[in-house]
Structure 1
Amino acid sequence: MKKHPLYVALLFMGIISAQDLETFFLKTNVFLETHVKNGKVGYGAIHEDQSTLDEILRIAKDISIETSDAKNYQAFWINAYNIATIKGIIDNYPTKSPLDNKGFFDKTKYSLGGKHITLNDIENKLLRAKFKDARFHFVLVCGAVGCPPLINKAYLPNILNSQLDTQTKKALNGNFLKVNTKKKKVEVSEIMKWYKEDFTMDGMTEIDFINKYRTEQIPDNYKLGYFTYNWSLNKQ
């Protein structure tokens, strides 16, 4: 039987011996390829048949990765966050927004990676606190239109840095910000307001961070503002 190309990639990486992690990445990849299009999720189809989603969550339940294995750790928890978010939406489906469901981010717990944790725990305790990488904000997708778009592939350890860069560049060269040259003003997603400390590390300004990834540079003298976050469901 012909092997899925992702299987071959994982075999080359030497991850194939970690059977559960390999299976998690493979099944997450196929699931996202099937149900995500142009950053939007086909929640209706997933709700009708939840078997693959539940299988992925069962596999993820007991996977254990140390922070010292940084790329595997980060790739696992980014995917786990995105899959758990979809599970949270499905458990409350139909819904118009993740915020319509009380405790969606800070109360509802998932059994993942040998832990019983919330979405906020994954984002803030397992990723942000340990790695200080603002690019996480462009790959953790909270189920809303205002989030960066969900890609239809799994995040993988051997290409994770490239994937993080790609998604950050897409956001900062796309609708994550609005530039008004006449008023010398740039408005950005409220994500950059809520997590300002992540975008201003090491003496960097928000505009400095933006310009690291933006093709058309924002002048230093532009005024920075924030536009209202769109919490509508990111459904197809």
Structure 2
Amino acid sequence: MKKVLLTIVFFTSLSIVSQNKIIYSDVAQDLLQNIMDKKLYDKEVKILAESTLEDLTSELKTDSQKLAFWINVYNAFIQISLSENPKEYEDRGAFFKKPRVKIAGELLSFDDMEHDIMRKSRVKISWGYLRKYFRPKWERKLRIDGDLEWRIHFALNCGAKSCPPVAIYSSENLSNELDFMTTEYLNEQTSFNEETKTAKSVSLFSWFRADFGGLCGARQILFDYKITPEKPKKLDFKTYDWTLSLGNYRTIPK
């Protein structure tokens, strides 16, 4: 009888622990959803602030899990930070470099999240050709493991008018979601001259050209995604509009 009672207590305890387990991917989605719905989000911010490196690394094991989580976190805190203090955008370099988001036991900047974690320790100003080495433990543990995912550039919203819209991403359907947003954004940002075979598209292709396989790779992407009727012979870039524009949200079809 005693063994039976101990067994019941043991499995009851496991059930309680399981029920109380925090799913940080869900928290990131809830945070962004509450911002989009103009609801309170203090609870989610607090949960993320109290997370540890072990918490996140034990949950975010695949690159899809990592990218979906960090895209949602990045976009959410851009909206929060610039809503609270839009004047920070007057010095954008300082804005993106400033450590401000408490998560995984660290105080991270937007540059940390984008270039160190999601872009796998790329040097920000190098067109994506240079990597940083001898990085801190948190970065090595949190960053993606595989090849760089170029479609994140069409998912991250930095608060400017020319930025891609904000949407909520999931690890389970990340590739389809990124494909949808990439297609929508590039269709909006790209024009094609049939006579000169020249495409004019977003400056992101130039700033992060190595991520896209160089300018030749960017031209191939425009053709592969049916943005242009053929692979352009030349690629020009639109002037990026840095006017502050918050609340640019989009729903991804199921």
Q: Aligned to 2:192, what secondary structure does the other structure show?
A: strand
Query: Equivalent residue for 1:112?
Result: 103
Aligned pair in 2 of structure 1 residues 68, 26: CA closer, same or farther (>3 Å)?
A: closer
| Distance in 2 between residues matched to 1:16 and 1:137, nearest whole Å | 36
Query: Equivalent residue for 1:28?
Result: 31
Under a length normalisation based on structure 2, what TM-score does the superposition of the two structures give?
Answer: 0.69
Are the aligned partners of 1:65 and 1:72 in contact in 2 as well (CA < 8 Å)? no
Indicate the RMSD between aligned Cα atoms, in angstroms: 2.7
| Distance in 2 between residues matched to 1:137 and 1:186, nearest whole Å | 18
Cα deviation 1:170-229 (Å, max 9, x = unaligned): 11222x22222233311111111110000116x9521112222225433342x1111110
Aligned pair in 2 of structure 1 residues 102, 127: CA closer, same or farther (>3 Å)?
A: closer
Within the candidate set 69, 72, 77, 2:70 is matched to 77
Q: Aligned to 2:161, what secondary structure does the other structure show?
A: coil
Cα offset for 1:33? Answer: 4.1
Cα offset for 1:136? Answer: 0.5
Q: Which one-letter code corresponds to 2:242 in the other structure? A: W
Q: Aligned to 2:157, what secondary structure does the other structure show?
A: coil
Cα offset for 1:23? Answer: 4.5
Q: Which one-letter code corresponds to 1:159 in the other structure? A: N
- Considering Cα pairs closer than 8 Å and 6+ residues apart, tell me whether 1 or 2 has the greater RCO: 1
Runs ≥4 residues deviating over 3 A? 15-18, 99-102
Cα offset for 1:142? Answer: 0.3
Aligned pair in 2 of structure 1 residues 113, 138: CA closer, same or farther (>3 Å)?
A: farther
Under a length normalisation based on structure 1, what TM-score does the superposition of the two structures give?
Answer: 0.73
Query: Equivalent residue for 1:40?
Result: none
| Distance in 1 between residues matched to 2:73 and 2:185, nearest whole Å | 21
| Distance in 2 between residues matched to 1:102 and 1:157, nearest whole Å | 30
Q: Aligned to 1:187, what secondary structure does the other structure show?
A: strand
| Distance in 2 between residues matched to 1:69 and 1:211, nearest whole Å | 29
Cα offset for 1:108? Answer: 3.9
Are the aligned partners of 1:98 and 1:144 in contact in 2 as well (CA < 8 Å)? no
In the alignment, structure 2 segments of 5+ residues that lack a partner are 1-17, 121-143, 248-254
Cα deviation 1:108-136 (Å, max 9, x = unaligned): 42112332111011011101113401001
Q: Does 1:58 align with 2:61?
A: no
Query: Equivalent residue for 1:150?
Result: 166
Query: Equivalent residue for 2:136?
Result: none
Q: Does 1:207 align with 2:219?
A: yes
Query: Equivalent residue for 2:123?
Result: none
Cα deviation 1:52-84 (Å, max 9, x = unaligned): 233322222216333633222211111110111
Task: Please say which structure displays the higher CA radius of gyration.
Answer: 2
Instruction: Map 1:1-236 onto structure 2 (within 5 A).
Output: 18-21=21-24, 23-35=26-38, 52-61=40-49, 62=51, 64-66=55-57, 68-93=61-86, 95=87, 98-100=89-91, 103-129=94-120, 130=144, 131-151=147-167, 154-174=168-188, 176-200=189-213, 205-221=217-233, 223-235=234-246
Aligned pair in 2 of structure 1 residues 207, 90: CA closer, same or farther (>3 Å)?
A: same
Aligned residues: 200
Q: Aligned to 2:81, what secondary structure does the other structure show?
A: helix
In the alignment, structure 1 segments of 5+ residues that lack a partner are 1-14, 36-50
